[in-house]
Amino acid sequence: MVLKYLLKKEFTQIRRNSFLPRLIIVYPIMIMCVMPWVMNMEVKNIVVDVVDNDHSTQSQQLVHEIEANKYFIFHGQQPTYAQALRNIEHSEADIVVVIPQNYSRDLSSGHLPQVLIAANAVNGTKGTLGSGYLSQIVTANAFPSSAAVKSKVDTLFLYNEHLNFKLFMIPALFAMIMMLMTGFLPTLNIVGEKEKGTIEQINVTPVSKWTFILSKLIPYWMIAFFIVTVCLLLGWLLYGITPVGNIALIYLLSMLLALFFSSFGLIISNYSDTMQQAIFVMWFFVVILLLLSGLYTPTRSMPPFAYLSTYINPVSYFIEAMRTVFIRGGDFSSIAHQLLALSGIGLFMGTWAVVSYKKNN
């Protein structure tokens, strides 16, 4: 019965806040409407300069193939390599292709022409993939037979047939939204009451610490449920993307992640004296958890010492399990160890949130 009135108090505080209800509704909508278009790792619109020192029919054919490719923006032909390099230095071009003299003669004699590809590697991903695309075009132009051989090789893309990057990112965006909404809001809860002085009224009551902390956690679990529902609906309405696996598993994973972040937020709030302190501490851990989770890059690409952090990172377990259910259609057994890890970490943090709360300072 006490829990009922504490929950009523929490929801009344949220409702009376002019900002929080709008944030809870607008934030997931904005993220789902904008981020799937922005968070795309596919490299396109690579600006290319070409230096043609051969001026033959074959070299111009290569130039036209580069110009017609959808991944490149043809910046034009430059008279010298030095001029093209200056364009890179001035950020007017990303890659320079230098076609050597006697390019057509080498092709006629069966030799591989030495085509220079100079890429701006300030953005390593763009430079590497862009030069890789151009290398394929140059090779196919020089040896059409090699392209014919490649055409006989069939590639089957499992689970994401059309290589839709939105399908890969939308499950991960659930983690980002949950992290910010069920992490930062609880972080500001208790410390906010400390600053206002209202926490003293609770501390003098016989309410147990378990009941008090539970009353703080339950509203954010309900907010997490609402957020997941909104994200699933928007993924279906805007992008035509729906989970392949069981939706109940998606809600279960989301609730476990919400348990961790809401508990973690209350822990920080218990130890903080001001809202500014709580925000900075939470942001410090959120950035680390996010960057080491595999949201943007595969965790296996990280150094071994950094990869070890994924064993204690709940966001990493969540993203891996969410993509397994959402994209691959995995069942309970496919994500059993992630569920176990999330449950263990969440219960540990929830217990810590209770123990760290002190009614008497």
Question: Can you tell me the distance from the alpha carbon of 321 to that of 216, in angstroms, rounded to the nearest whole number?
Answer: 27
Q: Considering all CA atoms of the chain, what is the largest pairwise distance in Å, rounded to the nearest integer?
A: 93
* Cβ–Cβ < 8 Å for 291, 261: no
Q: What SS3 state is found at 232? A: helix
Q: What is the DSSP letter of 300?
A: G
Q: What SS3 state is found at 99? A: strand
Q: Specify the DSSP element, H or E, that contains 88.
A: helix 81-89
pTM over 0.95: no
- Model pLDDT, residue 149: 47
Mean pLDDT, residues 91-107 taken together = 88
- Count CB atoms within 10 A of the CB of residue 210: 14
80, amino acid identity: T
Please provide the average confidence, as pLDDT, over all residues in the chain: 86
Query: Is 46-151 assigned to CATH 3.40.1710.10?
Result: yes
Mean pLDDT, residues 36-48 taken together = 83
- Model pLDDT, residue 326: 92
* CA dihedral sign of residues 290, 20, 12, 228: negative
Query: What residue spans define the domains of the chain?
Result: 2-39+161-356, 46-151
Per-residue pLDDT of 180-199, as tens digits, reads 888 888 888 888 888 777 77
Question: Can you tell me the distance from the alpha carbon of 165 to that of 149, in angstroms, rounded to the nearest whole number?
Answer: 28
* Cβ–Cβ < 8 Å for 225, 24: no
- Model pLDDT, residue 232: 93
Closest CA to 225 of 262, 249, 254, 266: 254
Alpha-carbon distances of 313 from 72, 234, 352, rounded to whole Å: 39, 28, 17
- Model pLDDT, residue 299: 85
Above 60 in pLDDT, residue 150?
no
184, amino acid identity: F
Q: What is the DSSP letter of 284?
A: H
Mean pLDDT, residues 343-350 taken together = 95
Place of tokens 């990493």: 316
Confidence of residue 344 (pLDDT cuts 50, 70, 90): very high
Closest CA to 295 of 318, 279, 278, 277: 318
DSSP symbols for 7-18: HHHHHHHHHH-S
Above 50 in pLDDT, residue 296?
yes
Provide φ and ψ at 46, rounded to 5°: -85, 120
